[in-house]
Amino acid sequence: MSEKITFSVTKREGLGKGANRRLRVAGKVPGIFYSTTGENIPVQMNEMPLVKLYEKAGLTNVIALDIDGEVKDCLIWKLERHPFKNRLQHVDFYGIDPEKEIRIKIPVRTTGESKGVKLGGRLEEYRQVVTVSAKPADIPNEVVVDVTDFDIHTFLKVSELELPENVTAYYDDDFKVLAVVPGRGSSKTEEAED
Which pLDDT score is estimated for 2? 46
187, 112: one domain: yes
Find the CATH number of the domain harbouring 44.
Answer: 2.40.240.10
132, 55: one domain: no
Which pLDDT score is estimated for 17? 78
Find the CATH number of the domain harbouring 184.
Answer: 2.170.120.20
Mean pLDDT in order along the chain per 10 residues (194 residues): 78 80 84 87 92 89 92 90 83 92 93 91 93 91 92 94 93 92 62 42
86, 108: one domain: no
90, 106: one domain: no
Domain boundary among 60, 80, 95: 95
Which pLDDT score is estimated for 37? 80
Which pLDDT score is estimated for 3? 54
- pTM for this structure? 0.74
Domain count for the chain: 2
75, 143: one domain: no
Range of the domain at 180: 102-193
What are 117-122's contacts with CB under 8 Å, separation 24+?
117/147, 117/150, 117/180, 119/151, 119/152, 120/152, 120/182, 120/183, 120/185, 120/186, 121/151, 121/152, 121/180, 121/181, 121/182, 121/183, 121/186, 122/180, 122/181, 122/182, 122/183, 122/184
126, 156: one domain: yes
